[in-house]
Each structure stands twice: as structure tokens, then as C-alpha cells.
């Protein structure tokens, strides 16, 4: 009886350690992915801001050109 409990205990301990290692690896991968996604969000927000500024400048230019055309 003790013989089988010893193997069950060793197998359980080994299984738990492998399981915890796998979870740690998965967590590290998810944290790396999260960091990359946050960098991507910052980059995309910068592009969006730049695009909005360009759009605003172009709209002002179009308005100015329309005003000049109306004066002619």
C-alpha cells in the first residue's frame, strides 16, 4: 500500500510542477503580447492624431480656396 501512495505522491508533485511551469510560460507570453499591443495602440493613436491635424489643415486650405474663388 505505501508503495503505491509513494508513486501517486511523486506523480502528483511532478504533474503540478509541470503544470505551474506551463502556466508561467503562458503568462509570460501573454504579458509580452500585452506590452506589444500597448505599443501598437500608442503608435496608432499617434497616426490618428497626425491624420486629424492633416485633415484640419486641408479643410482650412479648401475653405480658403473656396473663398478666393468666390471673390473672383
Q: Return the ∠ at Cα 49 (arms to 47 and 52), rounded to 5°.
A: 110
Amino acid 55: pLDDT: 95
pLDDT along the chain (72 residues), means of 10: 71 74 83 97 98 96 92 83
Backbone Cα Rg of the chain = 31
Amino acid 35: pLDDT: 97
Cα-Cα-Cα-Cα torsion 23, 24, 26, 31, nearest 10 degrees, comes to 140
* pTM of structure: 0.62
Amino acid at each position: 500500500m505505501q508503495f503505491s501512495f509513494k508513486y501517486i505522491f511523486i506523480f502528483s508533485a511532478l504533474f503540478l510542477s509541470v503544470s505551474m511551469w506551463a502556466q508561467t510560460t503562458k503568462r509570460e507570453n501573454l504579458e509580452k503580447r500585452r506590452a506589444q499591443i500597448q505599443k501598437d495602440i500608442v503608435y496608432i493613436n499617434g497616426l490618428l492624431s497626425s491624420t486629424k491635424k492633416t485633415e484640419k489643415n486641408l479643410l482650412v486650405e479648401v475653405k480658403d480656396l473656396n473663398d478666393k474663388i468666390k471673390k473672383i
